[in-house]
Chains A and B, each alone.
Chain A
Amino acid sequence: MDIVVAVKQVPDTSEVVDVVEIDGSGKDIERGTLVSRINEWDEYALEEALQWKQKLGGTVTAVTVGPGEWDDTLRRALAMGADRAIRVDEDATVIDCSAAARTLAALIGRLPHDLVMFGAQSEDFGSAQLGPMVAEMLGIPHAALVVRLQVEEGEAHVERELEGGARDLYTLRLPALLTIQTGINRPRYVSFSSVRKAREKELSVMSLDELGLPPQALTPAVELARLELAPAGKGAVLISGAAEEAAARLATILREAGVI
């Protein structure tokens, strides 16, 4: 069972310390102060791939299209247990989904792949497009938002998440591509020693040219015009003060509003 997992690196913009500002170009955010890490969905996809490798044998290859800094995320994938990693050296922040999909399809098409896994979406842009696009380009069946997987005898049995907690069940003939939803497993803890061992694993870098793609393959069809900080909405009435004081005022407000 040869499994290819596509991963990407994202800036962490979820926490209070991560102040998001637009940079001078108006088309990107200031990345200087932000911590980068593996996209959360991709971590679940990697874990799922590694668990199936443990059960069925074979290989797990982590792939990405991105700049040199993204080797950090590939190293993490190797530390989690991937056998090797390949990065196509292009700045993924300036290409659109279809260009990234074209690049990844060209790469994955050259690798042995019984199963291809993508995170269902990315934390930064959240387009949820790449996986099914790559499947269509490779001409293999796909299922998006997979929350349960069983692999046996050349087939993948999957449960796809729908709205309201319902699920659809499918059987796909391998090779197939799945996009993985969070919660499908518990991604493993990465120990210091596995990080050290991962330094000896193979991490290769490829160019578009080596994949037989012309530079025009990256011309975006969806063009980013500009970024703007999200405007504040009507907004909550903020209760200030230390914990004791703020909590007391909130209790009074709840009582006066008659909600308790």
Chain B
Amino acid sequence: MAEILVVAEHRDGKPADVSLEMLSTGRRLADQAGCGLLAVVVTSDVSAFAPRLARWADSVLAVKTGKPEHSLAEPYQKALASVIRERKPNLVLLGHSSFAMDLAPALAVDVGAPLATDCTNIAMENGAITVTRSIYNGKVNALYSFAPCETVILTGRPGVFPVEEGRGKGIVEEIDLPVHEEAEYKRFEGCSEPEASEVDITKADVLVAVGRGVKEKGNLQLAEDLARALGGVLACSRPVVDYGWLPSGHQVGLSGKTVRPRLYLALGISGAFQHMVGLRGSKMIVAINKDEKAPIFTDADYGIVGDVLEIVPVLTKHILEPRR
């Protein structure tokens, strides 16, 4: 039975964006291949999700495990492994999310299927699947195929696959699949939300964002001066938080905030996708980086190839005192 299976992830009562991206991709591939699309969601509240997923999927399998659904990957793994063993789909799609990074590799071992993660392109031709992955800091694309097998599992990079609203009306099926875990093996203890921050970078019109390329904490003053001259606020990429140079409230990207300022000025930021996902709504992106091959120059509107530490003070001067 030719079939594509999409795992729909959800949190706080909403399907994840990346799951809608995967459902759209699954729909496109299923239409090309003339096969069915099955969405699987592990939930206790079937009415909340299933009808929405059925717009893309021919059938939706709502799995009730009797466990809190978003909290542990293990009930998902057991439920999905049992569905995969029974239905033998050609392809299983998940978003490359924190959830999938925990779940997909263990699931692949569990069912004995090959796994390619963080794919940026997925193609299916005469039943053969090929994928593209972005490696070496976005500088190289790697193309993969798979040894003959029953099922291939893939995770897709967030924000890369377009969402096309589904127009179908699939069937919703509910199954009970109680999970009996070995007691005390792994317990869910709760969630924590991000700490409140002094500044709200999501409300700023102008963001001056610093990355690894500013070299050391002492150099942040240069960026801060520029931010002040522009009437903006300081933001940053992940390494700057990891090094303890700025608090996490300033971080833009997948594990930080999503921003849409009028101007995003990126200083010494290479432009890893985890960062870029968080600023796609910006009206204008300007990058200053000494590596002309840095991926940030692909997405920026304007760029200067050069040393941030040299250019920023001069730029601040020209912002404060326009040449006549």
Contact = CB atoms under 8 A, between A and B. Distances in A.
B115 A97 contact: yes
A260 B194 contact: no
Contact of B304 (A29, A98, A141, A250): A250
Given A141-B185, A159-B192, A260-B319, A186 B302 contact: no
A133 interface: yes
A252 B319 CA distance: 9
B101 to A, nearest CB: 5
A230 B147 contact: no
A243 B313 CA distance: 10
B127 interface: no
B288 to A, nearest CB: 8
B152 to A, nearest CB: 9
B189 to A, nearest CB: 4
B254 interface: yes
A136 interface: yes
B98 A160 contact: yes
Q: Is the interface of B mostly helix, strand, loop or mixed?
A: mixed
Contacts of A255: 322
Contacts of B258: 164
B219 interface: no
A35 interface: no
Interface string A128-142: 111111011100011
A260 B227 CA distance: 11
Contacts of A231: 141
Given A128-B118, A183-B241, A238 B102 contact: no
A260 B263 contact: yes
B86 interface: no
Interface stretch (A10-18, A78-86, A188-196): A10-18
Contacts of A130: 105
Interface in B24-73: 71-72
A222 B192 contact: no
B121 to A, nearest CB: 12
A67 interface: no
Interface string B178-204: 000000111111111111000000000
Contacts of A229: 139-141
Interface residues of B, number: 100
Nearest to B264: A259
B117 A127 contact: yes
B109 A22 contact: no
Interface stretch (A50-58, A109-117, A170-178, A197-205): A170-178
B298 A164 contact: no
B291 A144 contact: no
B116 A222 contact: yes
Interface string A226-256: 1111111111111110011011101111110
B251 interface: yes
Nearest to A15: B291
Contacts of A176: 186
B299 to A, nearest CB: 7
Contacts of B108: 98, 129, 133
A72 interface: no
B313 to A, nearest CB: 9
Contacts, number: 271
B169 interface: no
Nearest to B294: A16
B160 interface: no
Among A101, A130, A239, A259, max chain B CB count under 10 A is at: A259
A260 B98 contact: no
Interface in B143-164: 143-147, 149
Contacts of B248: 165
B110 interface: yes
Nearest to B183: A173
Interface stretch (A1-9, A118-126, A207-215): A118-126
Contact of B291 (A16, A162, A238): A16
A143 interface: yes
Given A14-B270, A170-B188, A237-B301, A128 B256 contact: no
Contact of A170 (B101, B142, B186): B186
Contact of B314 (A16, A142, A222, A244): A244
Interface string A14-43: 111001101000000100000000000000
Contacts of B71: 168
Interface in B289-314: 290-293, 295, 297-307, 310-311, 314
14 contacts: A20-B293, A101-B105, A128-B96, A131-B105, A166-B191, A170-B187, A186-B244, A224-B144, A227-B143, A235-B298, A236-B285, A238-B302, A248-B318, A250-B286
Q: Which 7 A-B pairs have the closest CB atoms?
A: A165-B194, A183-B242, A233-B298, A236-B303, A221-B114, A251-B318, A16-B291
Given A13-B137, A98-B109, A163-B97, 10 more contacts: A121-B101, A126-B118, A128-B105, A145-B102, A166-B191, A221-B149, A224-B142, A238-B297, A238-B304, A250-B315
